[in-house]
A and B are shown apart, each in its own frame.
Chain A
C-alpha cells in the first residue's frame, strides 16, 4: 500500500510506517538494514527498482532522498518535505519511503533521515550519481557504516578514482569495484591451477570504465608486477593477459557474457562471466558491511602508477606534480557534475511546462 504525505515531518512519516504495517497485518518485520539512496529525480526510478530487487536478498528499509532544485529565491527560502510511504507488495520485501526535499531542507537532509533509521541496524548510503567528494564527511554519509559510490557514473571516472583514494575512509566502496568480483575470482582460480610466477599483466577494456583501472591496480598491488592498461571498444572489460614464467594465461571476454580462459599447456575453456545488473551489484554490496580492505589497498595503489600509455590525461609527466594535478582535477570534477546535473534539470523544466500547455 502507498501513503502520500505532503508538507510533512519525519515524525509523521514514522507514524505512517507503523500504520501501514498494521493495515497490511505484519506488525513486525525482520529488516536487516537501512538503505539510504541519495539521488536526483532523474535516477530515482532505476535506483529504487534495483534496491527493491536487492531487497529480496536483504530485506531493508529503503529511504530515497531526492533533493529538488529550487529555481527562484523565494523557493530557496521556504522549505518543504513530501513523502511517499510504501509498504507491502509495492516495496519488495521491506519498506520504502521516497522523500522529496524542497528549499532549505535540502541542506539538512540528515535531519529527516536520522529519525527514520531502523534501530540498531546498519545503515548503507548509496549515491547512484553525483557522489560527494568525501563520502564519509557528507552529513548523510556520516550516518552510515557503508558508503556506496559509483565512479562509472562519473564524468571523469579515472580522476574520480584518485579523489576516492585521497578521501578513502573505511566503509567506502565503489560499484565499479563490485563489478569485477567475478573477474577477480576467475583470475584467482586460474592462478590456483598453476605454480608459476607472474611477470607482467595487461588489462584491456573500454575507455572511461574505472573497473578496468581498479582490476589493474588490484593485480599490480597483489602481484607486484608492472600492469598495462589497454583500450578496446568494450563492452566493459574485454581481456586480462598475464605473462608468467610458464607461458601466458589469458582470460578473454569479447561479448560481455562468455569468456575463454587459456592457460599455456592446458586446453582453452569457456567460462561464464556475464556483466551484472545493478540489483545484483547492490545485493553483493549489502552482503558484507565491514570495511573492504582489499578495495582500499587496490585503490591506494594509485592510477598514475599504472602504465596507461594511450590514456591522454595521464601521459608522461613527473610523478609528483602529476599527483597534485590529479587531486586538483578531481576536485574540479566533483563540482562539475553537480553543476551539470542542475543545468540539465533546469533545461528540462521549461520543456515540461511547454508540454503541459
Chain B
C-alpha cells in the first residue's frame, strides 16, 4: 500500500516474503525540544526500540536541538540514560553502537539564526557521513506558541526544501490549536512551509494496537458488523479517565481544559473509528474520507446546558493518598473556570446511527486510569423468562479496553447454576496480553516508523482536526457564557451532574 522509499524495483523485496519487516529508507530524525519529558520518556526509547527490532535503516541519524549547552557526547549520554530507563526492549550494546554513530546535538534557541545554520550543516554532514540521503523528519516537541517561529526558521534556512527526490517532513504534537480559528491559522503556518502530505499530526492514541484493532474487530469479522447500528445499539460510552492531577503542567493546562485537551482529539477520533462506515481500503485516503464523513455528521443536542457537563476536581482521597483540589494547585488562579472533567453527548446524523447517543467523558483525578469504548446494546424486545428471573440482567455490551490491560470484554446474560431460573450478567474477556505478544510495540514506535516510511494511515488530517473543532467550539462558547464547573471529589467518577445528565435519558454511566 505504501511504496517503500528508495528504488521501487529491489529484487530482494517480495510481497509474499512476510518475514522481512518494513524498514524505513535512509533517513534521520531531528527533535526540537529534545530535553523535554516527552522526548526522554517516549521518543528516545521508541527510536532505540525500533533500532533494536531492526526496523531503522543503517546510518539512521538522530539530531537533538535545544537550548542546553551540550556536546554530542552529553547528548548521547542523555539518550543512553533515557533508553536504559524507559525502553521497552532490553539494552544491547551493539544496537547502541549502531545508533550512537548518527547522534548529533545542536545548541540554540528557536530565534537563533546561527543555530539553524549549524543545524543545516549538521544535516549536510550526516548526509555525507551516514548516508541519510537528505531525508529528515522534524519532530516539533515544543510548546504551541513556538510552532510558528520554528516552522518559519526551517523555511528561512532552507531546511524544509525537498531536493533531488529527498523528503522533509514535519511531525507536530497536539494541541492543534485551541479552537477552529487558531487551528486554521496553525495549519496555514505549517502548510506554507510543508506540503500537506508531509505534515504528520501525532495523536498517540491512534498508534495503539487496540485502536487499530477496532478496525480489525469491525471489518474483518462477520459477527459484529450486523448489529453495529441503531437497530441494536442503545448508546455508546467513550471514556478516558486519568487518576493523576495536572502535575506540573499548570501553565499549559489552565485555560485549555479537559475538553480541548482530550475530547477534541483522542475521544472524537475514537468515536469516528467506532462509528464510521467500512472504508474502501485500508489506505490513508479511504480511511480519512470515512472518518471525515462521521465527524461531519456529528451533531450537538440543542440544549447544551442539559447535554454537557464540566467539572473541577476538589481535594480528597485518591487511591489512599490525600490530594489537593484543582484550584489549590500551584500556579492556578483560584477563580479559574478551566474544566478538568468534561462529558458531552453527541449524535451522529446518518442512517446507521440516528437516535443513538454517543457519550464522551474525560477527567483528571478520577477513580483509576482507564480508556475504553463501551457499545451498549438494547434490551431484548421480548423475554420468555418472568420478571424475577431477569431482574439482575443488565444490557449486553461490547467493551473495547484501550488502556491499560488492552482487550475486549463482551457482557451477556447467563443462567446462574441451580434449580431456579435466574439470569445474571457475565463477562467474556479477550486480553491482548493473553493471546498475543506481551511486548506489543509502543504507540510512538509505530508512529515514528510510519513517519519515516511516509505512511499517513494513523495520523489525523487537517480536515479532521478542523471538523473536531467545529464540534467542540459551540460547547466551549456555551461554557464561557454560562455558570462554573461543578466540583467533584478527587478519586470519584466525576460530578453528580454527569450522572444526572445520563439519568435524564434513562441511562447510567458504566463504572469502568
Contact = CB atoms under 8 A, between A and B. Distances in A.
A181 interface: yes
Nearest to A57: B437
B383 interface: no
A200 interface: no
Contact of B51 (A57, A186, A223, A272): A272
Contacts of B54: 182, 185-186, 272
Given A186-B58, A284-B19, A294-B17, A266 B131 contact: yes
Nearest to A195: B7
A268 B42 CA distance: 29
A57 B128 CA distance: 40
A246 to B, nearest CB: 12
B144 interface: no
A272 B172 CA distance: 30
B133 interface: yes
Interface string B110-134: 0000000000000000001111010
B463 to A, nearest CB: 32
Interface in A42-61: 56-59
A269 B59 contact: yes
Interface in A169-199: 178, 181-182, 184-195, 198
Contacts of B52: 272
B439 interface: yes
B25 A258 contact: no
B59 A189 contact: no
13 contacts: A30-B430, A56-B438, A59-B435, A181-B19, A184-B20, A185-B54, A188-B23, A223-B11, A258-B94, A267-B130, A269-B101, A272-B52, A272-B92
Nearest to B12: A188
Contacts of B129: 267
B131 A193 contact: yes
A330 interface: no
Interface string B78-104: 000000000000001111011001000
A148 B434 CA distance: 24
Contacts of B14: 222, 294
Nearest to B434: A30
B158 interface: no
Nearest to A298: B17
A292 interface: yes
A271 B23 contact: no
Interface string B1-40: 0001111001111101111110101100000000000000
Given A269-B98, A272-B54, 15 more contacts: A31-B435, A56-B439, A184-B12, A185-B21, A185-B23, A191-B7, A191-B11, A192-B23, A193-B26, A193-B57, A222-B11, A222-B12, A258-B98, A267-B129, A274-B94
Most chain B CB within 10 A, of A30, A181, A189, A263, is at A189
A290 B54 CA distance: 23
Interface string A148-182: 00000000000000000000000000000010011
Contacts of A190: 58
A229 B498 CA distance: 72
B437 A189 contact: no
A272 B112 CA distance: 37
A114 interface: no
Chain B, interface size category, equals: 35 or more
A32 B436 contact: yes
Nearest to B17: A294
Nearest to A225: B11
A185 B12 CA distance: 9
Query: Which of A28, A58, A267 has most chain B Cβ within 10 Å?
Result: A267
B220 interface: no
B431 interface: yes
B97 A189 contact: no
Nearest to B439: A57
| A interface SS class | mixed
- Most A CB atoms within 10 A — which of B5, B25, B430, B436? B436
A212 interface: no
A261 interface: yes
Interface in A206-261: 219, 222-224, 257-258, 261
A272 B131 contact: no
A272 B437 CA distance: 23
Contacts of A269: 58-59, 98, 101, 130-131
B435 A32 contact: yes
A347 interface: no
Contact of A187 (B12, B133, B438): B12
Contact of A258 (B12, B97, B436): B97
B97 A272 contact: yes
Contacts of A284: 19
Contacts of B6: 192-193
Interface string A22-45: 000000111110000000000000
Contacts of A266: 59, 131
B58 A57 contact: no
A267 B131 contact: yes
Given A181-B20, A193-B133, A272-B95, A267 B25 contact: no
Given A185-B20, A193-B6, A266-B131, A272 B98 contact: yes
Contacts of B95: 272
A182 B436 CA distance: 22
A270 interface: yes
Nearest to A293: B16
A83 B464 CA distance: 59
Residue in A29, A182, A192, A267 whose Cβ sees the most chain B Cβ within 10 Å: A192
Interface in B420-459: 429-431, 434-439
Contacts of A224: 11
Interface in B223-265: none
B26 A294 contact: no
Nearest to B21: A185
Nearest to B431: A30
A247 B452 CA distance: 27
B98 A184 contact: no
Contact of A192 (B10, B18, B51): B10
B190 to A, nearest CB: 29
B16 A294 contact: yes
